[in-house]
Amino acid sequence: MSESASPSGAFDALVQWAMTAEHQADVVAARAEFSALAGEVFEEDRQLELRLAGFLEFYLCDRVAPWAGTTPARARYLASLTTEGPRQAQAWRSFCETWHALFEVKELEEGRVTLVALSSRSEVAVSERRAMHGLSLGDVLEARLIPFAGGLAFSSAWVWHPHEAAPLIKAEAERRRQAGSPEKELLFDCARRSLKADRYRQIAIEKIYEFTR
């Protein structure tokens, strides 16, 4: 099966292409950068697998790799233009055009989720066959959307924030939007708070997501 048959298949192939032994030192450096941004994760954390997936996406799609002079995803795409067909090249290009942001859940339907980006208030529909257990209307989640088959699909990495935190995050997003603050600052701020909420259940969610602290 071609790597372009699904986003997950193409992503797995991209991981194998980029994360080789010769790039091990850069992977270690990138992991430290990601931990400083999103919070350090430990073996006992419930979010361990999702955060590891988030790191892979950060390394491949967001961070400029010294050995490539661009993101690994873009390096793979550029290499494919002369060595592979247009369909496969488009699969790699999709990972150069992902949308990583905080979204509010507006509608939940079978096979489809409608989201509103907190930074721009733009609305987008995402194809999703899996049941979105634990997700409710009005919730806020960190997600990465991948262009695929003429639409958008979710990546495998998520950060779901507690329902009680949603109005606090949305208010802070609006405050920062008006102030012109970088979107990713709030995204990573919330990611760190999500880990704290998981670890310290005795602390009220409203305290953990109190952005004046």
The answer to whether residues 115 and 104 touch, using CB atoms and an 8 Å cutoff, is yes
**What is the structure's pLDDT at 99?**
97
Tokens of 204: 């009220």
Q: Is 170 helix (H, G, I), strand (E, B) or coil?
A: helix
Helix 72-83 with 86-94: angle, nearest 10 deg: 170
pLDDT at 41 over 90: yes
- DSSP code at position 19: S
H-state helical runs in 2-137: 7-18, 24-38, 48-57, 72-83, 86-94
The length of the chain, given as a count of residues? 213
Parallel, antiparallel, or unpaired for β 111-117 and 99-109?
Answer: antiparallel
Nearest to 139 by CA among 167, 177, 171, 98: 167
**What is the structure's pLDDT at 44?**
95
Q: What is the mean pLDDT of residues 24-35?
A: 98
Backbone angles phi, psi at 133, to 5 degrees: -65, 135
| Per-residue model confidence as pLDDT tens digits over 111-134 | 899 999 999 889 999 988 776 677
| Per-residue model confidence as pLDDT tens digits over 152-211 | 999 999 999 999 999 999 999 999 999 999 999 999 999 999 999 999 999 999 999 999
Q: Mean pLDDT for the chain?
A: 93
**What is the structure's pLDDT at 213?**
65
The answer to whether residues 59 and 34 touch, using CB atoms and an 8 Å cutoff, is yes
Going along the chain from its start, the domains and CATH numbers come out as 3-94 (no CATH), 99-208 (2.40.50.140)
